[in-house]
Structure 1
Amino acid sequence: MMEINISPKQLYEGCIQAAIAHAVAVGMYPELNYEHSWDGINYSMNDSQGCRATITFHADYIIAVFQDIHKVDWNIDALNFFDGASEEIIQIANNEALQYVLEDVEGAIKPVISTAFWGTWEQLKSVQSLDEIIENGGYIIRSQLLSYHVAMDEWRDYYNLDTQQITLIQKLFDQKINSNGERLALEDDEIQLLYGDLEECLVSLGELKFFKK
C-alpha cells in the first residue's frame, strides 16, 4: 500500500466539472449519454472503448474502481486491490463503487476491476503506483485531474461548446461546489443554453441536483 499523488479536492472538482460539461452538451449528443453519470454519491464514466470507472465520494472517504477489459485478470478478487484498507472503506466499496463493475464470471456475479485507489479527503492510497493505476484504467480520469481551465479547453473541443455554454458551465460549477449538497434551481436563461434534446440535459443535471423551476 502506498500514497498516490492525487489531490482529493482536485479529483472531486474535476469530476463535477466533467459531469456539468457533459450535462450541458448531452442534448446535442444524446448518443453519449452513458459517458458520465451521477447516482447519489457515485460518479461513473464509460469511454465505450472497454474502460469504465466509478468513484464514490462518501462524506469521509473516496473510493475509485476502474475496469479496463483489456487489463483485467478475471481470476483476481476485486478486494485484492484494497489490501491494507480499513474495514469501513471495504464495506463502502462493496456497497457502492464495486456495485457498478459487476460481471458474470462463470455463472457468478462479482465485481471485476483492473485497478483501484481509496482514502480520505486528505490523502489517497493504492496497492499500485500512480503510473500503474493510469496504465490499468486510471487514464479515463485524466481530464478530471487537470486544472479547471485546462480541462475546460478539452471539454470545449470535445463537445464543440460555444462561449455561452462555457460561461454556463462555470456558473453551474460554482453553484454546485458551494451548494453543500442542496438542490439548485435552473433559471430560464440557463435552460435556454441547453441545446438539442432538452430532456437529456435535464436528466443529467438532475443527477447533480439541478432542477427546472
Structure 2
Amino acid sequence: AINSTSDSYLPLGGLVPLWLMQLGEVVYGGIGSGFYGMMLFVLVAVFVAGLMVGRTPEYLGKKIETFDMKMVALGILVTPAIILLGTAVAVLIPHATSVLGNPGPHGFTEILYAFSSVANNNGSAMGGLTVTSTFYQVATGLAMLMGRFWFALPVMALAGSMVIEKENTSQPGDASDSYTIVYYAAHRDRHFSERAQLSAGVVTGAID
C-alpha cells in the first residue's frame, strides 16, 4: 500500500520504489515470492565469496554445483528480461505511447514502472499511464504470468537439485575452524616484520 501518488514523485523519489521492485521484491520481501528471491541472492553471495577465498562454494553443507548456479542466474535474470522486453515493445507501438499522460522521459518511466510492477508481483502503477487500454491489458497480463511462473521454474529446479545433493563432510578446500591457521598467520607476520625492520636498518645506515 502507498500513501501518496506515485506519478507525483520527483525523479529521485520515483527511482527508489522502481529500484526496489526491480531488485525482485527482495527488500523487504514481496508477498509470495520475496523469500526465494532473497535465497537466490544469498546463493550468489555464497558462491562469489567462496571463489574469492579459494574454497569450495557450499551452502548449508551442500556444494553449489554448475547446474545450481545456472538456475540461480536464470531466476535472477528472467524478470529483468521480461521488464525490458515489455518496455521495449511498448515504446515501439504508437497505440501504447498514445495513452501516456506525460510525454517525454517521465512517460518512459511510467511504462517501465508498469512492467516492473506486474513482473515483480507488486501491483502499483503511475496514474499518468492509461493501463485500461487494450495493449496494456494484454501486455501487462502476459508479463504478470511470465514473471510469476517463469521465475518459479528455475527456483523449483534449484530446490530439487539442492535436495538430492548429499551433505558434505569437511574437505581440504574448506575453511578451517581450528587455531592452527591463526598461529601460522601470526608467526608469518612476525617473520615479515623482523625482515622489514632489518631492511629499514640497512637502508637508513643503522646496520652495516
TM-score by length of 1: 0.26
Greater relative contact order (CA < 8 Å, ≥ 6 in sequence): 1
Q: Judging by fraction of residues, say which structure has more strand.
A: 1
Larger Cα-atom Rg: 2
TM-score by length of 2: 0.26
